[in-house]
Structure 1
């Protein structure tokens, strides 16, 4: 049974190409175009190629959507917000680095000098401890 189906399918596939005959194209005296299996007697006829393959077509490009004014404005606002956030992050990083450096200096050196009204003076131990506590609080609050 399987062999019979295979043979029938093969014959059917071959018969389609065997039955395809030549086709002719011609134009009559009134200017009408005709097609047929037999060329007309006494008229010029052209053979038509029936072995046509489908042309390869490139896939269509994805559609480009234009942004509305609102979307363009939103993108601009997003860029500005991102730039502001980046700037704030850099400033915070520099601030934290400064606090850590000052704290390390105050812990390492018990005798800290500052300039007040153009005059240098030494911090008392209470002032030094107060500044260290403020630096630690600033680090804890902003630099985690």
Structure 2
């Protein structure tokens, strides 16, 4: 049964592109644009590509920039610069992860009026005032720390 469902789903997905015919576009004397499966008689029409777009591959990142005169002249400074750049990249990744988590928390706070929280081993429901205070804190955190 499962194999039949998968096969029919694949055939359905493939048939949509196979059944797509030629589509013509033209503008009549009154300036109205028309689309049709048949070209108009006595007028020039352009064809429209109905195929799904193929995603472009992501551009490859460059591995390392060319060494500069300063890095060749002072290898210690070059090592320090490389470490600082790695630290900046790591901090930026942490910040992005933090922002994603905070935005998820904000969505949870805004969409769920009945939130429960564990305080000192006891689960209790947040009051509306506590929920609104947390929403305000979360929004402030997003504006302060996330772009």
Normalization by structure 2: what TM-score? 0.50
Once superposed, which parts of structure 1, at least 4 consecutive aligned residues long, lie more than 3 Å away?
Answer: none
How many residues end up aligned between the 2 structures?
77
SS across alignment from 1:121: strand
Structure 2: how far apart are the matches of 1:91 and 1:107?
24
Structure 2: how far apart are the matches of 1:107 and 1:127?
12
Give 2:76's match in structure 1, choosing from 73, 76, 81.
Answer: 73
Give 2:90's match in structure 1, choosing from 82, 87, 92.
Answer: 87
Structure 1: how far apart are the matches of 2:103 and 2:116?
18
Residues 1:96 and 2:99 aligned together: yes
Match of 2:116 in 1: 113
Normalization by structure 1: what TM-score? 0.51
TM-align CA RMSD: 1.4
Between structure 1 and structure 2, the one with the greater Rg is 1
Residues 1:138 and 2:118 aligned together: no
Give 1:126's match in structure 2, choosing from 114, 125, 129.
Answer: 129
Shift of 1:67: 3.6
Shift of 1:108: 0.5
Q: Which runs of 5+ in 2 are unaligned?
A: 1-70
Shift of 1:119: 1.0
SS across alignment from 1:115: strand
